[in-house]
């Protein structure tokens, strides 16, 4: 479990995260404009794009009991089963979401849950749309315990859920605003990924029915991607 450093505050705002980038882009555009007019206009367009990239729209998650919502905006590129060895151990159902540079890059909680663990793993920065290749990329894993709406006998009423923030070819930093010990609601902001990346959602195999398939576009905190199976 990763402990929160003393004195650290979380922004909980992609807009605030983007201020240094917008300022830098504005300065570059200004300098470029003194050199060539077309360069100044190109710099202005780039500045507008940077500001737009860090948009952070408010959203109201439906939060239907037993439903898991998309943790990111983007394109579903895979729905499969994988082996998981951290927080969620054993076979896991996985939904893979690719975020292009045009998508909102704020990650959101998929369900009401307690954040109980957080882990960083170093790695490469291959294109995030390569499902297999991106498995070697650097990432941050967030481990949640979600409440089952209909716990079975012998079950403590919780199920482990993992959200994986993965860097891509353009992304070089993962920003996370949540720390172990916090409780989140479905749709709450978790953090963001910069300039194109991937987010995975994992749940224990056999506990959820997946509601999306590859090729579907999803909206973070809005689109239902799975629901718990009642046993």
Region of poorest pLDDT, from 16-30, 81-95, 176-190, 206-220: 16-30
Query: Is 90:204 a contact under the CB 8 Å cutoff?
Result: yes
Q: How far is CA 22 from the centre of its chain?
A: 22
| Confidence category of residue 129, pLDDT binned at 50, 70, 90 | low
Using pLDDT thresholds of 50, 70 and 90, give the confidence band for residue 8: very low
d(CA 91, CA 150) in angstroms, rounded, equals: 21
Q: Is residue 224 part of a domain?
A: yes
Is residue 18 situated within a structural domain?
A: yes
109 and 211 inside one domain: yes
CATH number of the CATH domain containing 167 = 2.70.70
Q: Are residues 110 and 212 in the same domain?
A: yes
- Cβ(184)–Cβ(191) under 8 Å? no
Q: What percent of the chain has pLDDT over 70?
A: 80
pLDDT tens track for 197-226: 889 999 999 999 999 999 999 999 999 999
CB distance 81 to 226 below 8 Å: no
Active site positions, annotated: 197
Number of domains in the chain: 2
- pLDDT for position 170: 59
The three-point CA angle 210-143-205 to 5° equals: 35
This prediction's pTM: 0.83
Do 107 and 146 have their domain in common? yes
Instruction: List alpha helices for the chain, DSSP H.
Output: 14-35, 37-53
> 113, exposed or middle or buried, with CB in 10 Å at 0-12, 13-18, 19+?
buried
Identify whether 100 is part of a domain. Answer: yes
**Residue 74 confidence (pLDDT) above 70:** yes
Residue 36, in any domain of the structure: yes
Together in a domain, 126 and 175: yes
Q: Which range of residues forms the domain containing residue 33?
A: 14-53
Inside any domain, residue 32: yes
**90 and 202 part of one domain:** yes
């Amino acid at each position: 479990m990763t402990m929160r450093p003393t004195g650290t505050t979380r922004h909980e705002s992609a807009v605030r995260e983007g201020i240094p980038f917008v300022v830098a882009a504005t300065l570059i555009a200004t300098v470029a404009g003194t050199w060539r007019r077309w360069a100044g206009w190109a710099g202005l367009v780039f500045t507008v794009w940077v500001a737009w990239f860090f948009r952070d729209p408010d959203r109201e998650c439906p939060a239907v009991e037993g439903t898991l919502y998309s943790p990111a905006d983007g394109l579903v590129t895979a729905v499969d089963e994988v082996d998981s060895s951290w927080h969620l151990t054993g076979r896991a159902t996985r939904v893979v979401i690719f975020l292009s540079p045009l998508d909102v890059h704020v990650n959101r909680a998929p369900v009401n849950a307690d954040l109980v663990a957080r882990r960083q793993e170093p790695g490469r920065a291959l294109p995030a749309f390569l499902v297999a290749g991106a498995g070697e990329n650097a990432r941050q894993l967030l481990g949640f315990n979600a409440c089952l709406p209909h716990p079975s006998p012998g079950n403590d009423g919780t199920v482990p859920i993992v959200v994986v923030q993965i860097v891509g070819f353009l992304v070089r930093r993962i920003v996370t605003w949540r720390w172990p010990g916090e409780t989140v609601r479905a749709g709450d902001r978790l953090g963001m990924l910069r300039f194109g990346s991937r987010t995975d959602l994992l749940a224990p195999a056999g506990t959820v029915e997946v509601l999306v398939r590859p090729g579907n576009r999803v909206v973070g905190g809005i689109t239902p991607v799975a629901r718990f199976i009642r046993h």
